[in-house]
Amino acid sequence: MRQSKILQGVLIAGGLALSGAVFAATPSSEMLANTCAGCHGTHGNSQGPATPTITGISKDYFIDAMQAYQNDEGNPTVMNRIAKGYTEEEIQAMADFFSSQKFVAHKQEFNVNTAKRGYILHNKSCEKCHEDGGRSKEDDAGILAGQWSPYVRWSLQDYMSGKREAPKKMKKKLDEVVEQVGQEKAIERLVNYYASQAD
Ligand code: HEC
Ligand code: HEC
């Protein structure tokens, strides 16, 4: 297996002297995941606020996200460069690791009234795919409840401006909420709602 450049870089930067024999071995999924910890936190629960927590998401979601980054999709700031350093097998191994870690919802401030208005939008337009108030790990759509608010806000802005391509049916629903209350209000309400779901 091709060892990743990033893994090697991190190990060298960390001053670890590893023999060629170790490099030739398949790195364990936890060892691979350690190279992500600087930004995504130990085991994937990020200290935020612009870096998403990546624990508990489904394997499919994880793999799709990494492949999209490898193809320069999704308007990433850093992940396109990072994702390109990994093979399919390594991504698979990391998907196993992160999806098996417990998602820690981040308690953040939110405005109760704005969150209530967000609930109305979410329930009508988003709940179908982001089930259980955005908590569900089963729908391969990421976890929104208790995800870092700046990251959620930024993702919604990217989708709504077309910088990140939303799945077709989701795009329709985003258009629907924007039509109802305008882009800015829709984003604030939804962001407050997902922050209110951190339990
Ligand atoms: C330099 C900081 C940094 C490092 C190192 C990093 N990430 Fe990221 N990651 C981010 C940021 C920031 C985002 C949001 C997208 C972007 O702007 O690139 C992100 C997004 C993601 C996402 C998408 C999450 C979602 O909810 O859609 C996944 C999956 C991910 N990273 C996996 C990894 C893995 C696996 C590694 C280690 C191999 C890693 N990241 C290393 C900063 C980092
Ligand atoms: C038809 C199913 C569907 C509907 C409806 C839907 N989504 Fe999504 N959503 C997805 C899928 C699938 C993804 C996975 C990422 C991608 O493909 O870009 C996603 C990703 C996201 C993300 C990014 C998560 C991350 O970690 O990067 C946000 C934010 C989001 N959706 C918000 C919403 C909101 C708000 C609504 C309602 C207005 C909504 N979605 C409606 C399917 C849906």
pLDDT higher than 70, residue 15: no
What is d(CA 51, CA 150) in angstroms, rounded to the nearest whole number? 9
Q: How many Å apart are CA 96 and CA 33, to the nearest integer?
A: 10
Per-residue pLDDT of 87-131, as tens digits, reads: 999 999 999 999 999 999 999 999 999 999 999 999 999 999 999
For 46-99, what is each residue's pLDDT tens digit?
998 999 999 999 999 999 999 999 999 999 999 999 999 999 999 999 999 999
CB-based contact 62:151 (threshold 8 Å) = no
Tell me if 146 CB under 6 Å of ligand 2. Answer: no
Q: Is the peptide bond before 49 cis (omega within 30 degrees of 0)?
A: yes
Which of the residue ranges 4-8, 11-15, 132-136, 158-162 would you say has the lowest mean pLDDT?
Answer: 11-15
Residue located nearest, by CA, to atom 9 of ligand 2: 141
pLDDT digits (tens, 9 = 90+) for 182-196: 999 999 999 999 999
Whether 4 contacts 90, CB under 8 Å: yes
Tokens of 89: 């097998």
Q: How many of the other CB atoms lie within 10 Å of CB of 52?
A: 23
Q: Which ligand is nearest to the CA of 123?
A: 2
How would residue 26 be classed by pLDDT, with cut points 50, 70 and 90?
low
Indicate the top mutation candidate among 129, 132, 178 to test ligand 2's pocket, ranked by most ligand atoms within 8 A of CB: 129
Distance 110 CA to ligand 2 centre (A): 21
- Which of 101, 102, 103, 89 has its CA nearest to residue 32? 89
Q: Mind listing the pLDDT tens digit for each residue in 159-184?
A: 999 999 999 999 999 999 999 999 99
What's residue 133's pLDDT? 97
